[in-house]
Structure 1
Amino acid sequence: MQKSDFIQWLREGTITIPAALLTEYKNMHLSEQELVLLLQVIHFAEKGNEFPTPAEISARMAVSVVDCTESLHALIQKGFIDIIDGDSADGIRFERYSLDPLWEKLIDRFMQNQKQERVQARQVEETDLYTCFEKEFGRPLSPFECETLAMWMDDDHHDPIIIKAALREAVISGKLNFRYIDRILFEWKKNGIKTIEQAKSYGRKFRQHQGQQKPAPKDVKVQSRPVPFYNWLEQ
């Protein structure tokens, strides 16, 4: 065998498939045989044959023509491939396999995974939020307090990170109660505060404004690191 033969063999090329198909086919209830059959259909299509016969596909697989035909029918029934009409350049009509249903199912699977990951992340954030509150309050939260926390997230749509920031603000101000925290969240929402960076910036600007309005008397020694205080309930 000559090198040219190997070169010709390598020129057969590769097929392009989403990696997600290999990682998700089991969750999509595809068997290994059905997966390989789909890969063969993809390869035939990339080589210009969009409607290979079961015999052509079977010749590349370790299954009989009968089994290959049954697998093709099963894939059509399960909605992974379609047989659609097409037109050639000279106007002759023909049939071809469409893999659009497969890609749509793969996209649905991706979106479902993304949704599940967001739900799990939200659950972790909520659990951490309750833990932070119980740690700061030094006791388990009452049913009413738990309901208030849920209301902030579900009804008022406050991000758990923002609620934690409001909790820290209440701790700094020495006003550790839910009414005070609720007022902070109300003020932040009214002023369009949606991120932790915006909350920090808003707090800094307010304290700078407060410091300019209330300068310390000259005969009073100012602490080197004063604790900022914002009485949100008086706003």
Structure 2
Amino acid sequence: MKKDDMIAWFEQGSVSIPKLLFNHYSDLGLDETEFMMLMHLNVFIDSGESFPTPHDLSAKMSVSTTKCMEVLRNLIQKGVLTIEQLDDSSSVISEQYSLKPLWRKLINLLMQENQNEVQQEQEQEEINLYSIFEKEFGRPLSPFECETLAMWVDQDHHDPLIIKTALRESVMSGKLNFRYIDRILFEWKKNGIKTIDQARAHSQKFRQHQQPKNQKPSQSQNSSAVPFFNWLEQ
């Protein structure tokens, strides 16, 4: 191969195909012929030829001109390709293909996938939350308790980690019931507590405030006291 031929080859450039499109074109309802048609349209547009004819496309593909016309029509009907009109200074109306609808659909697909992943994580977190409560209570939760737990998450928007911390606080206080836990969550939300560290500091401050100032705990009381710890890391 001559040097000039190699230079001409390099000057032709390269085609960049988004990996997201390559992996998900079938999720957009596209088959392989439609996918290749879009790729060829993308190359034509990048080369400055924004409105190739079916004959031009057929010359690049292994399908007939009639088939190219059919595929183009299908792509427009599926909402991944549009034909835009351009007005120039000479008042001559020209047309061009646009792949913007394709990119929009691809972005929407990605956003939907991310939302589904977040929703699945939240659902799994709620399942784990129910399991932890049932383990601490030593029994299945009643319908009312299940409804209360769901309300804390869906209506009050408490983080599951905060709910777990409130549960542990109620266990350590010897008051294992939903009313007490609800009161803890109410107080924490009122005081702007959103993290485990904030909840731990608030609980320690509350205990110090509850203890009479002149009362000094005995050595036996100190040895039997249950310290507040981050039980989620155990």
1:135 is matched with which residue?
135
SS of 1:223's equivalent in the other structure is: helix
Closer, same or farther in 2 for the Cα pair 1:135/1:93, shift >3 Å?
same
Q: Is the 8 A contact 1:173 1:228 kept in 2?
A: no
Structure 1 residue 60 displacement after superposition: 1.3
Give CA-to-partner distance per residue, 1:11-52, whole Å, 9 cap, x none. 222233432111211111100110111011111111111111
Which residue number corresponds to residue 157 of structure 1?
A: 157
Aligned amino acid, residue 185 of structure 1: L
What RMSD over aligned residues (CA atoms) do the two structures have, in Å?
2.2
- Structure 1 residues 106-115 or 118-127, which shifts more? 106-115
Amino acid across the alignment from 2:213: K
Give the secondary structure class of the aligned counterpart of 2:175: coil
Q: How does 1:48-197 map to 2 (within 5 A)?
A: 48-88=48-88, 92-197=92-197
Q: In the alignment, does 2:31 pair up with 1:42?
A: no
User: Which residue number corresponds to residue 7 of structure 1?
Assistant: 7
Q: What CA distance in whole angstroms lies between the structure 2 residues aligned with 1:5 and 1:36?
A: 27
Distance 1:205 1:13, change over 3 A: farther
Counterpart check, 1:214 vs 2:217: no
User: Which SS does the other structure have where 1:167 is aligned?
Assistant: helix
More deviation in 154-163 or 72-81? 154-163
Offset at residue 179 of structure 1 (A): 0.9
The residue type equivalent to 2:203 in the other structure is G
Unpaired stretches in structure 1, ≥5 consecutive residues:
230-235
Q: Cα–Cα, structure 1 residues 64 and 205, in superposed 2: closer, same or farther, change >3 Å?
A: farther
Supply the distance in 2 between the matched residues of 1:124 and 1:96 (Cα, whole angstroms): 48
Give the TM-score normalised by the residue count of structure 2: 0.87
Structure 1 residues 170 and 16, CA, compared in 2 at 3 Å: closer, same or farther? same
Alignment partners' CA distance in 2, 1:120 and 1:84: 40
| Percent identity between the two aligned chains | 55
1:208/1:99 CA distance change after superposition, 3 Å: farther
Partner of 1:233: none
Structure 2: stretches of 5+ with no match in the other structure: 229-234
Q: Displacement, 1:92?
A: 4.0
TM superposition score normalised by structure 1: 0.87
Instruction: Say if 2:226 is the partner of 1:227.
Output: yes
1:161-198 per-position Cα deviation (integer Å, ceiling 9, x unaligned): 21111111112222111111000011011112233343
- Using the TM superposition, name which of 3-12 and 143-152 deviates more: 3-12
Quote the Cα distance in structure 1 between the aligned partners of 2:201 and 2:45: 57
Which letter does structure 2 place at the counterpart of 1:115? Q
